[in-house]
């Protein structure tokens, strides 16, 4: 690895703490418990796999989730100046204001499901001032235009990852749901997918907030120029600095910290998935902590999920972001553990098992 793009000691230590969660004896205990519940073998389908995954992550046969935290990282992107979004850049700060006022979809879902919501200003081109529910972690008023120059310096990328990790480490609970907000961030996500996993740009690039055919063609052309500008960027930190957003970098740090602490991570859509691409390249075992909430309608998300070998819980045609898909998937994840804990066994219920 180029020393200019090597992880500093603190982040390298975080990465080193993320190891595969393999335990044959615990796996057997969990499977015996699941198979002994009053149901046909495998009848709860993927809910059983979720319970097994969380049990192995937590290292216990009676896994439980508590104090779930929903973090929405927001930032602006210099690429927005190239007209790669159907909406103006001001929508980023306006939507943050909407979240702080309780009017966004994520607010409704967080309230419904008892999720503690925190909005993080990672780099929005707006001054909010001290606000309840808002963490001011602004690194700058948005990134630079990645089609013309690096979106951020490597030092800024490292700073953002550290910030995301520290924010996560300061929160209670053992489950985290991750979301984002940022006009033009589907463009950054497409660039990360194309460079880190070699997905063709036309496959990685979608309509974002609703581009028409002409707008999509223009977006693809802009992103092609961005990729051509930095052909040497291949290492994950370098790629993140060239093409990422501040919110994506903070998400990458939060993902690493959550996996190191064995928190269950509900991964939202395309943008959070792009941050996970970076984290995965640094620490492949981060996937052991990740539950993929949904497959979004954004074109590149199918390819991203395939690149990570991920199977999402839901497919509802969502393309909202904000962590909305993760919030919708939360009750299914919670139910998987409630079933494991609360269902009677054949023996305890006096029900005849298989012949």
Annotated active-site positions, please? 322
Tell me phi and psi for residue 146, to 5 degrees.
Answer: -70, -10
Asked whether the beta carbons of 36 and 289 are under 8 A apart, the reply is no
Rounded Cα gap, residues 182 and 17, in angstroms = 30
Q: How far is CA 308 from the centre of its chain?
A: 12
Side-chain half-sphere of 181: how many Cα atoms within 13 Å? Answer: 26
* 291, containing H or E segment: strand 290-292
* 30, containing H or E segment: helix 24-35
Residue that the structure tokens 């609970």 belong to: 173
Q: What tokens does 3 get?
A: 């020393």
Residue that the structure tokens 């049990």 belong to: 55
Rounded Cα gap, residues 248 and 257, in angstroms = 14
Q: What tokens does 10 get?
A: 């603190």
How many CB atoms sit inside 10 A of residue 193's CB?
26
Rounded Cα gap, residues 253 and 132, in angstroms = 23
Beta bridge partners of 69: 116, 176
């Amino acid at each position: 690895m180029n020393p200019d793009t090597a992880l500093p000691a603190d982040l390298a230590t975080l990465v080193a703490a993320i190891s595969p969660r393999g335990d044959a004896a615990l796996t057997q205990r969990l499977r015996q418990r699941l198979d002994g519940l009053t149901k046909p073998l495998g009848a709860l389908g993927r809910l059983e796999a979720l319970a097994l995954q969380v049990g192995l992550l937590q290292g216990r046969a009676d896994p439980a989730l508590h104090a779930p935290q929903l973090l929405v990282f927001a930032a602006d992107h210099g690429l927005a100046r190239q007209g790669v979004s159907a909406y103006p850049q001001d929508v980023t700060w306006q939507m943050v204001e909407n979240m702080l006022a309780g009017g966004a979809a994520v607010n409704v879902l967080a309230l419904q499901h008892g999720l503690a919501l925190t909005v993080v200003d990672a780099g929005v081109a707006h001054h909010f001032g001290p606000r309840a529910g808002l963490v001011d972690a602004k690194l700058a008023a948005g990134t630079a235009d990645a089609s013309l120059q690096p979106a951020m310096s490597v030092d800024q990328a490292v700073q953002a990852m550290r910030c995301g990790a520290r924010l996560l480490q300061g929160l209670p609970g053992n489950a985290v749901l991750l979301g984002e907000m940022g006009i033009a961030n589907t463009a950054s996500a497409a660039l990360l997918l194309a460079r880190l996993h070699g997905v063709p740009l036309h496959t990685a690039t979608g309509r974002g907030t609703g581009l028409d055919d002409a707008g999509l063609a223009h977006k693809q052309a802009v992103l092609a120029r961005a990729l051509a500008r930095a052909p040497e960027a291949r290492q994950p930190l370098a790629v993140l600095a060239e093409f990422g957003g501040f919110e994506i970098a903070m998400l990458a740090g939060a993902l690493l910290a959550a996996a190191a602490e064995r928190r269950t991570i509900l991964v939202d859509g395309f943008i959070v998935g792009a941050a996970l691409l970076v984290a995965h390249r640094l620490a492949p075992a981060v996937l052991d902590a990740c539950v993929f909430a949904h497959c979004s309608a954004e074109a590149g998300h199918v390819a991203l999920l395939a690149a990570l070998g991920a199977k999402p819980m839901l497919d509802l045609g969502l393309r909202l972001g904000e962590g909305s898909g993760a919030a919708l998937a939360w009750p299914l994840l919670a139910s998987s553990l409630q079933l494991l804990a609360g269902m009677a066994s054949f023996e305890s219920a006096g029900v005849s098992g298989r012949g």
